Structure 1
Amino acid sequence: MNNFLGEIQIFGFNFAPNGWAFCDGKLLPISQYAALYSLVGTVYGGDGRTTFGLPNLQGLAACATGRGTGLQPYALGENFGSETVALISNELAGHTHVANIFLQNDTTQRFALPTPGSSPVAPATATPFASSQTSNGSFAANFVGPNVGGQPHANQQPYLALNFCIALQGDFPQRP
């Protein structure tokens, strides 16, 4: 079976097979690859006079063109998404964190690194325990709170290192 010119396939080895090129955004001369240029044009870069670009799928996930149910439309060659995201407070689901604590009245049993039967030393500038509570009580209302620092976290799909390659030669696809 022959492949089509401009067809993109995934390969599990570290080289592009004969007649294929990595989808790495490289610019190619139109004069040498006129048939492939007639299919992809300058969608992926190039000046359209002497060069055109190959798709760049390095570290990216491929997506079909068009509009899926409930999704926005995507155009051929469009890049979107982000490798990192910083969440804001209204994007976080409501939740709580339980902290099991106890009040150690014996100050000789308070240590920076607690051991069984001891408790951590409270910072000098904070009152962590509600004054009306007894042992095994709650933190003061202002001691624990939301901390949305806007720090980005990784936002990548699970991945396996593979190479996307485009056919530089093959059967010219016929339009339906």
Structure 2
Amino acid sequence: MSEPFIGQIQMFGFDFPPRGWSLCQGQLIAISQNTALFSLIGTNFGGDGRTTFGLPDMASRAPVGQSRGHTPPGLTPFRIGQHGGAQTHTMIETELARHTHQATFTSGGGNTEVKATTDEGDATTPSQGAYLSKTKATGGPQDQDENIYKSNPSDDSLVSLGGVSGGASGTVQVEAAGGGQPFSIQNPFLALNFSIALQGIFPSRN
């Protein structure tokens, strides 16, 4: 191949860097021995900028174009040397689509019996087995409680009530769904050898 530009990154099908190249694995190299390359990439990929600078780390990464002066609508801008992303992701609640869960209701029982009589009441408070009855004033002050319960009504005074409803208590158990495990977001891939030219032609600006 023709002489490469210094700093040129090339993909190879073999697993070693050619002479004058180095693997793109984020290693730090001496500025004093690679002044031309340092003048081109600086510390974009690491290093202290005094004695060392870093090479790009392409191990298990895919490249993306930098956004210098241009970012397409709806896309995120990236500066040269910026890295990020992940191979797996664990979803959180705010990322889930609206959905429902299966719920199981367990009743604690709720039979309700309401009994009434046409007899006049003899108590202001209910007792075990008491019937709702006709109101009978106690003869006291106007705001005094009235007798509205009858303990032992006569048989012919019993009344059958219709339209009576009752309540029931119980628990609702919502079934858990999912395992909360991270899942792969890795695109289909093919691993190749990324290497950077340490020697070659110093590129001129267009």
Cα deviation for residue 91 of structure 1 reads: 3.1
Cα deviation for residue 92 of structure 1 reads: 4.0
- The one-character-per-residue Cα deviations of 1:16-50 (angstroms, maximum 9, x if unpaired) are 11111100001110000000000010111111111
Specify the SS of the correspondent of 1:21.
strand
* 1:30-109 matches, cutoff 5 A: 30-66=31-67, 67-93=71-97
| Structure richer in strand, relative to its length | 2
- The one-character-per-residue Cα deviations of 1:59-109 (angstroms, maximum 9, x if unpaired) are 00001100233111101111111121011344345689xxxxxxxxxxxxx
Query: Is the CA contact (8 Å cut-off) linking 1:5 and 1:171 kept in structure 2?
Result: yes
Letter aligned with residue 51 of structure 2? T
Letter aligned with residue 84 of structure 2? F
Query: Is the CA contact (8 Å cut-off) linking 1:29 and 1:51 kept in structure 2?
Result: yes
> What are the ranges of 5 or more consecutive residues in structure 2 without an aligned counterpart?
105-171
> What are the ranges of 5 or more consecutive residues in structure 1 without an aligned counterpart?
97-126, 128-140
Q: State how far apart, in whole Å, the 2-side matches of 1:25 and 1:36 are.
A: 14
Aligned to 2:200: 170
Please tell me the root mean square deviation across aligned C-alpha atoms, in Å.
Answer: 2.5
Q: Which has the higher contact order (CA 8 A, sep 6+)?
A: 1
Larger radius of gyration: 2
Q: State how far apart, in whole Å, the 2-side matches of 1:149 and 1:36 are.
A: 49
Specify the SS of the correspondent of 2:60.
coil
Query: Is the CA contact (8 Å cut-off) linking 1:89 and 1:148 kept in structure 2?
Result: no
Q: State how far apart, in whole Å, the 1-side matches of 2:205 and 2:50 are.
A: 25
- The one-character-per-residue Cα deviations of 1:116-140 (angstroms, maximum 9, x if unpaired) are xxxxxxxxxxx8xxxxxxxxxxxxx
Q: State how far apart, in whole Å, the 2-side matches of 1:34 and 1:11 are.
A: 25
Specify the SS of the correspondent of 2:18.
coil
Q: State how far apart, in whole Å, the 1-side matches of 2:66 and 2:176 are.
A: 40
Query: Cα 1:89–1:147, aligned 2, differ >3 Å: closer, same or farther?
Result: farther
Q: 1:159 aligns with which of 163, 176, 189?
A: 189
Specify the SS of the correspondent of 2:195.
strand
Specify the SS of the correspondent of 1:164.
strand
Cα deviation for residue 2 of structure 1 reads: 2.4
Q: State how far apart, in whole Å, the 1-side matches of 2:72 and 2:194 are.
A: 23
Q: State how far apart, in whole Å, the 2-side matches of 1:70 and 1:56 are.
A: 27
So what's the TM-score if we normalise by structure 2? 0.58
Q: State how far apart, in whole Å, the 1-side matches of 2:81 and 2:176 are.
A: 40
